[in-house]
Amino acid sequence: MGSLDGKGAIVPGAAGEGNMGQVIARQLAKEGAKVAVGGRGKDRMAGIAREIGGIALDCDITDREQVFAAVRDAKAEFGHIDIGVNATGWGLLKSTTETSEADLDRMLAIQFKGPFFFMQALIGAMDNTAGGRGGSIIQISSATATIMLEMHSAYMGTKAGTDHVVRTVANEYGKVGIRANSISPGVTETPMAGDSLKYEAVRDAFTKEYPLGRYGTCEDIAHAVVWLARDECFMSGQNLQVNGGLTLRRNPTGEELFSVMPPEAIAHLTS
């Protein structure tokens, strides 16, 4: 028996092969939940949906109508939505002065407006006074919403802002059975990180800042998601720093990172 038997879940941000959203979806399914995976183009998620015995849904997080439709469809399929985990994101690295209006619009759409839409839709689906049965909303945030990383201001600002929306949802909708929390990974081996972590010097620059001696994995985050999703979790409105103690220290400075990165890795990160 799994700790999430009988639960219905939806996980936007699962279109990338092997990304954090897919790892989270697998772990939720392993614990007994029925899981809908969402992202741009449901055909891209057909494999993961089959693997976990779930469904794939079109869910472009920047499209309000699609987000609401995906939540409605998942609820219709499972009978209820008890868990919503937003794992979407865009890891732009640009200085504040080089961040264009187009960059900013895209970042706001993906990391502020989209999560806001998702929480709105989940509130309607979970409200235990309106046909829901309560539930757990989980937003994947970032350690950089708290500590510094150079050339990351648009990313950091939107993550921090969304953390405050999570707190507001927790405060306002606890009375209808909804808990809302966020999780802050540090640097994690995901497709978003690209090839930068394949360089030993880059890995070492990060690793020495982690009290637990390593940076994180998607599995670390997935296990935290399961805990927040369980009925036994008496927590709401909180940000969990699931990053091996990184926020006790710091990220490497830009100078430290760029001094050990080859030009092609820098080009990838800043493109």
Note the pLDDT tens digit of each residue in 129-166. Answer: 999 999 999 999 999 999 999 999 999 999 999 999 99
Rounded mean pLDDT of the chain?
A: 94
The encoded tokens of residue 15 equal: 């279109």
| 257 in any annotated domain | no
C-alpha distances (whole Å) from 37 to each of 20, 40, 51, 116, 175 are: 12, 10, 11, 18, 28
Mean pLDDT of 89-105: 95
Cross-strand partners of 136: 83, 179
According to the model, what pLDDT value does residue 271 have? Answer: 45
Give catalytic residues, as residue numbers: 155
Q: Using only the alpha carbons of the chain, give its radius of gyration.
A: 18
Closest CA to 20 of 152, 155, 189: 189
| 268 in any annotated domain | no
| 65 in any annotated domain | yes
Containing structural domain, residue 44: 8-194+216-247
The encoded tokens of residue 147 equal: 């500590």
| 121 in any annotated domain | yes
Domains in the chain, number: 1
CATH number at residue 163: 3.40.50.720
| 163 in any annotated domain | yes
pLDDT digits (tens, 9 = 90+) for 101-115: 999 999 999 999 999
Higher pLDDT, 268 or 42: 42
- pTM, two decimal places: 0.95
Q: What is the DSSP secondary structure assignment for residue 130, as one 8-state letter?
A: T
- Percentage helix, strand, coil for the chain under 3-state DSSP, each rounded to 5: 50, 15, 40
Using pLDDT thresholds of 50, 70 and 90, give the confidence band for residue 54: very high
Q: What is the DSSP string of 35-62?
A: EEEEES-GGGGHHHHHHHT-EEEE--TT
φ, ψ of residue 197 to 5 degrees: the values are: -80, 0
| 52 in any annotated domain | yes
| 3 in any annotated domain | no
| Rounded Cα–Cα distance for residues 181 and 176 (Å) | 16
| 202 in any annotated domain | no
Cross-strand partners of 178: 135
